[in-house]
C-alpha cells in the first residue's frame, strides 16, 4: 500500500508490516509500533542515500517488519561493489544508531524504556538483515561479491537457494521453540517471510539477468574502456547454455574451440545478444562464427 511520495520515491508499506503495527496498537504498545516504524525508515533512508551518492536512482521503497526493499534502477547493471555498498548501508546505520543509544544510556545522558527497546530493535534489524539470503541485505552483499565472479544469474540462484535453506532451518527451530514455549511464533513468521522472498528472487533471476544484459548495450556505448570476461566454449554448445554464464558488469568475449581444443574464432557479447530473437536458443555457438 502506497503511503506517500518524497523526492520522486514511492514509499509503500507491506501488508504484513501494516498488520504488525495494528497488532501493536491493539495491544496498547503503540509507542513500540512507532519505534519500529522509525527504525525501519532509518534503515531504508541510508540505503537511499548511499544509492544516490553512487549515481543510482531509487524508484520505490517497500517497508517490511524487519527492514525493507528498495527498488533501484540500474543497480544490477553496475559493479557488484556498488550493490555491496548500498546493501551494507542499512545494517551499518542500525549498528551506528544502537551505539549512540547505548552510549547515551551508559553515560546517563537519558533513560527511558523506549530507548532500551530502540537499542535492541536496531541490533535485531541489523543482524537479521545480514543473513546471507535474498531479499535481505546479507544476500545482496553475497550476490554482489559472487556476481563479478560467476555472473548475476548464477549468483542470484545460489543466494536464493541459501535463503530457502536458511528459511527451512528457521522454520524447524521456530516450530520446536514455539511448541516448547521457549519463544513465541515470530521465528516461524520470519522463516515464512524469508522463504517467500528467496523463492520470488529465484523465480525472477533469469528475467533480472536478461534485463541487465539488454541494458548493458546503453552503458557500453557511454564507457570508453571496459573490463573483459573471457569464456571458452566448444563449438557445439547451445546459446542457452552460454547466456547464464555472462557476467553483467564486464564485457564478455567467448573463444570458440573445436573438438580438438583448437581455437576457431571469437564471439563478442554484442554478437551473442544480437542473435537472440534471430536464432533459436538451442542454436549452437558455432553458427555465430559464420556471421562474424
* CB 249 within 8 Å of CB 225: no
Residue 272 has pLDDT above 90, yes or no: no
Q: What is the predicted pLDDT for the residue at 123?
A: 92
Phi, psi angles (nearest 5°) of residue 59: -95, -40
Residue 247 C-beta-side C-alpha neighbours within 13 Å: 22
Predicted structure pTM score: 0.73
d(CA 227, CA 84) in angstroms, rounded, equals 19
Q: What is the predicted pLDDT for the residue at 97?
A: 94
> Which of 48, 45, 44, 72 has its CA nearest to residue 129?
44
Mean pLDDT value of segment 244-256? 80
Residue 292 has pLDDT above 50, yes or no: no
Q: Which of 62-71, 73-82, 190-199, 256-265 has the highest mean pLDDT?
A: 256-265
Beta-sheet pairing, 9-13 with 2-6 = antiparallel
pLDDT cut 90: percent of the chain above it? 9
Q: What is the predicted pLDDT for the residue at 96?
A: 95
Q: Please, what is the average pLDDT of the chain?
A: 80
> pLDDT tens, 19-28?
777 777 777 7
Q: In what order do the strands lie in the sheet with 67-73?
A: 2-6, 9-13, 57-64, 67-73
Q: How confident is the model at residue 88 (pLDDT cuts 50, 70, 90)?
A: very high
Amino acid at each position: 500500500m502506497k503511503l506517500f511520495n518524497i523526492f520522486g520515491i514511492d514509499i509503500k508499506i507491506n501488508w504484513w508490516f501494516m498488520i504488525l503495527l495494528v497488532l501493536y496498537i491493539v495491544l496498547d504498545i503503540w509507542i513500540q509500533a512507532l519505534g519500529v516504524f522509525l527504525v525501519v525508515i532509518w534503515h531504508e533512508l541510508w540505503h537511499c542515500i548511499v544509492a544516490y551518492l553512487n549515481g543510482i536512482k531509487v524508484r520505490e521503497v517497500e517497508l517490511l517488519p524487519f527492514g525493507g526493499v528498495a527498488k533501484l534502477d540500474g543497480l544490477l547493471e553496475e559493479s557488484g561493489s556498488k550493490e555491496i555498498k548500498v546493501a551494507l548501508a542499512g545494517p551499518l546505520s542500525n549498528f551506528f544508531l544502537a551505539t549512540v543509544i547505548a552510549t547515551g544510556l551508559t553515560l546517563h545522558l537519558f533513560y527511558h524504556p523506549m530507548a532500551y527497546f530502540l537499542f535492541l530493535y536496531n541490533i535485531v534489524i541489523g543482524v537479521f538483515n545480514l543473513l546471507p539470503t535474498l531479499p535481505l541485505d546479507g544476500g545482496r552483499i553475497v550476490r554482489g561479491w559472487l556476481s563479478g565472479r560467476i555472473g548475476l544469474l548464477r549468483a542470484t540462484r545460489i543466494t536464493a537457494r541459501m535463503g530457502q535453506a536458511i528459511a527451512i532451518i528457521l522454520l524447524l527451530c521456530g516450530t520446536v521453540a514455539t511448541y516448547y514455549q521457549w519463544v513465541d511464533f515470530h521465528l516461524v513468521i520470519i522463516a515464512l517471510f524469508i522463504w517467500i522472498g528467496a523463492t520470488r528472487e529465484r523465480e525472477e533471476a533469469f528475467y533480472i539477468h536478461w534485463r541487465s544484459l539488454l541494458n548493458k548495450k546503453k552503458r557500453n556505448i557511454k564507457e570508453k574502456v571496459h573490463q573483459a570476461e573471457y569464456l571458452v566454449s566448444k563449438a557445439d554448445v547451445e546459446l542457452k547454455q552460454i547466456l547464464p554464464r555472462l557476467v553483467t558488469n564486464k564485457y564478455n568475449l567467448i573463444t570458440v574451440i573445436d573438438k580438438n581444443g583448437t581455437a576457431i574464432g571469437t564471439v563478442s557479447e554484442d554478437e551473442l545478444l544480437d542473435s537472440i530473437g534471430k536464432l533459436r536458443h538451442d542454436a549452437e555457438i558455432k553458427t555465430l562464427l559464420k556471421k562474424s
